Structures are given as C-alpha cells and as structure tokens.
C-alpha cells in the first residue's frame, strides 16, 4: 500500500501535477460553457421554470445515486484511464449534441439526456481526480493545491457566463458546444505522457462476479467510514452545511427582486462579488496553506461563510453595497472551508479507499440539495427570503463552533486511517 509519505514523491512533482491540472482547467472551462449554452437554449426555447428545474435534477441525480458505486470502481481501476475515459466520453456526448443542434433536430429531451450522461461520467471523474491528486502532490502542499482548485472554480464562475454570452452572440450554439471537445482533448493529452501512481487496492472482494465484487467494495467503503468517527462526523458536517447553504444561491434572484428591488444587473453584481471572493480566498489559501491543523482552517472558513450569509440577510434594502460585501466574504471563506476539507481526506484516508470516500462525501452533499430546496421554497414563501439567509447562516456558524467541541473531528488528522483499520479489525464481520 502506498503510504502518505510516498505520495507525490515523484520528481519533479509540480511539473507532473500542473501539466494535468492545466488540462483539467481547460476542460472545466469547456464544461461550464456547455452548461451555460444548454441552459440558455432551454430558457430561450421554452421559457419554463419547470424545464430548468428538471434539467437541474438530471444534472444532480447521477452524483446522488451513482456516485458511491463510481467511487468503488475508481478504487479498483487505473485512475489515469478513468480520467481519460470520462473526459473522452463526455467529449463524444458533446459531439452528439453538436450534431443535433447543427442539423436542427435538437429537442428538450435530448438536452436532458445529455446532461444526465455528462453528470454520470462526472461522478467517475471527480473521485478519480481527487484521489489522484493525493498521489501526485506531497501532503504538505495539499491544502494549497485545493485552495488553487477553489480559486479556479471561482474564476470560472466569473469568466464562463459572460464568455458564453459573448460567444453565443458571434457564433451558432453548436460551435460554442464544440469548444468543449477541444478542451477535452487538451485535458486528455498530458495524461498519455504522465503516469499516476496506482495504490495497492484496499479491496477485499475477489468474487468472480464483478457486480457482487463492486457491492462488496462499496460495503467496505461504508464500513471504513462508519468505523472512523472523525471521518463520519466530517461527512455529516459537510452534508448539514450543504443543506442549509444551497438554498441561498437558488433564492438569490428573489432576494434581489423582492427585497432590494433590483433586476438582472444587481443579481449579476452579487454573483460577481461572490466569484471575486472565491478567487481571492483561493489565491490566499494557495499561498498560505492554512493553519497546521487543517480542520481549524476549515471551521474558520465555515464560520466566515455563515457570518457573510447572515450579513446579506440582515442588510437593509437601501444598503445594497453591504450585501455585496457580505457575498464577497462568503465567497472568500469558501476556499478556506472546502480546500482544507479535501486536503484532510487526501492526506489521511489511505489511497486505496479515497475514491469511495470522496464519492460518499460528494453524494451525501448532493443528496441534500433537492431536500433543502423542497423545504426552503415553501418556508421562504411563508417567512420571507431574508429569514432563510439569517437562519441558514446562523446554523452554519453554530455547526462550525459545535464541531470544535467534537474531539474525534478535531483529531482526525492525528489519528489517520489507522483508527478505522483498528476498529474494523475489532468489529464482527457483517
């Protein structure tokens, strides 16, 4: 089994990792352009909120239901090949959409199917990339790298929408979609020349039936998390935070129109303020690396997100600039919360289990999205949109402060995966 001290030991690690990272950055841009273009087409073609909501569901469901199985398979397979295959197949799906749009035969259900298939492959790509990062990057640099990843995501959130709008103004939609095929090629190219270390499998499944073997691997992933209290609490905290924070983004247009009396321009300013905050926070975390105990950096970030959200909810209608500041704080603290969290998993969970653990985190967080939206919508109609911001932000702060009192969570980095292994060994077989 690859030990934590061996991770990223290849020389020079930075050149190898950033070659892959740069390719994936191009691929992210292409994917976000596709998302913007498809949503714009659905909006302009149907004008239906139901259609847009349905498209969102199709983009979420694969992560919820397929994510855990994808993680188990990623831990079995060669992660470099998983990245190549997922990026390549996503490009083929985009090519199909390009041909449908170019021929004038595109229908709404084609977009639904395209989003579903792309999200399904993304459920494999995410854990494979996260688990590969821990094998390419030394432990002491993981928080910085995750900070850069968060900053990149924020930058794309700023750049992709206006770039997509600009491109749609000068070329047909199918050519905008075709950009994703080019960026997928740029993501795949370095993977043909760079080797990603493959850890010894943590799998105990040797059954000849591949489905049964995968289910055994998946069960082992659940047992691994259950046997490690600190990791289990970390996942539950991530799920709880997603539950209270996700509706804030969905309700933002109503906050702008009903409270601030603004329109699309004001909504754009709020989103831009958050994006600028994310980029700034990612850059700072990339340079600083956070506190030595990464969990403290993460909880500091969660506290900041909560306070920024409360500030937005409490801002009077006449002080829109204060709301912009609150959104900037929320965005700035996002990388501080998320970057160290991923670094903790990458540095403490043994490599052969990381695909499964990453998928459980992302699947659990994704599962909270439709549940929270079902609650937040009716509640906001009754008590007002601002109340959700204040309540959600306050709960976020309480979760962060309460987490500081949970010893298993605070000591998660010190114990490492040995606690889970020992607990599993002591537990009766199920």
Interval 95-140: pLDDT, tens: 999 999 999 999 999 999 999 999 999 989 988 898 888 888 888 8
Task: Quote the pTM value.
Answer: 0.70
Spatial CB neighbours of 88, under 8 Å, sequence gap ≥ 6 = 184, 188
Report CA-CA distances (Å) from 359 to 64, 71, 225, 340, 367: 9, 5, 12, 17, 12
Domain boundaries, the chain: 11-410
Tell me which residue of 305, 328, 300, 326 sits closest to 314, measured CA to CA.
326
Q: Write out the E strands in 187-253.
A: none
**CB-based burial label for 52 (10 Å; 0-12, 13-18, 19+):** middle
Question: What is the chain's mean pLDDT, rounded?
Answer: 84
Interval 315-350: pLDDT, tens: 999 999 999 999 999 999 999 998 888 888 888 888
Report CA-CA distances (Å) from 327 to 248, 259, 284, 302, 319: 11, 16, 17, 14, 13
Q: Domain 11-410's class?
A: mainly alpha
**HSE, side-chain direction, 13 A CA sphere, residue 80:** 16
Q: Is the pLDDT of residue 421 over 60?
A: no
């Amino acid at each position: 089994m690859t030990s934590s001290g061996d991770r990223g030991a290849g020389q020079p690690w930075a050149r190898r990792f950033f070659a892959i990272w740069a390719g994936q950055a191009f691929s992210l841009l292409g994917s976000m352009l596709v998302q913007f273009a498809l949503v714009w087409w659905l909006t302009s073609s149907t004008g239906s909120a139901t259609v847009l909501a349905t498209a969102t569901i199709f983009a979420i469901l694969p992560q919820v239901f397929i994510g855990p199985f994808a993680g188990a398979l990623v831990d079995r397979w060669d992660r470099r090949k998983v990245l190549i295959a997922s990026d390549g197949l996503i490009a083929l799906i985009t090519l199909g959409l390009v041909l449908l749009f170019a021929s004038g035969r595109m229908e709404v259900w084609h977009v639904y199917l395209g989003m579903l298939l792309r999200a399904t492959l993304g459920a494999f790509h995410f854990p494979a990339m996260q688990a590969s990062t821990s094998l390419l990057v030394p432990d002491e640099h993981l928080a910085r790298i995750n900070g850069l990843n968060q900053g990149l995501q924020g930058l794309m959130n700023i750049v992709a929408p206006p770039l997509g709008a600009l491109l749609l103004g000068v070329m047909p939609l199918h050519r905008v979609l075709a950009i994703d095929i080019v960026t997928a090629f740029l993501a795949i190219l370095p993977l043909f020349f760079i080797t990603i270390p493959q850890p010894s499998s943590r799998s105990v499944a040797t059954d000849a039936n591949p489905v049964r073997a995968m289910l055994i691997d998946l069960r082992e992933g659940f047992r691994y998390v259950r046997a490690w209290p600190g990791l289990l609490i970390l996942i539950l905290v991530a799920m709880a935070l997603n539950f209270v924070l996700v509706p804030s983004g969905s309700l933002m247009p109503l906050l702008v129109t009903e409270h601030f009396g603004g329109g699309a321009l004001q909504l754009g300013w709020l989103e831009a303020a958050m994006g600028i905050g994310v980029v700034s926070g990612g850059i700072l975390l990339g340079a600083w690396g956070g506190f030595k105990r990464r969990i403290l950096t993460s909880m500091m970030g969660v506290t900041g997100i909560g306070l920024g959200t409360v500030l937005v909810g409490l801002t009077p209608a006449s002080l829109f600039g204060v709301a912009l500041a609150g959104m900037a704080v929320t965005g700035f603290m996002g990388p501080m919360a998320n970057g160290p969290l991923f670094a903790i998993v990458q540095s403490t969970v043994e490599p052969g289990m990381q695909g499964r653990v990453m998928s459980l985190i992302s699947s659990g967080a994704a599962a909270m999205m439709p549940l929270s939206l079902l609650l937040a919508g009716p509640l906001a109609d009754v008590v007002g949109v601002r109340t959700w911001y204040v309540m959600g932000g306050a709960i976020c702060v309480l979760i962060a402060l309460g987490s500081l009192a949970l010893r298993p969570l605070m000591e998660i980095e010190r114990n490492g995966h040995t606690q889970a292994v020992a607990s599993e060994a002591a537990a009766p077989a199920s």
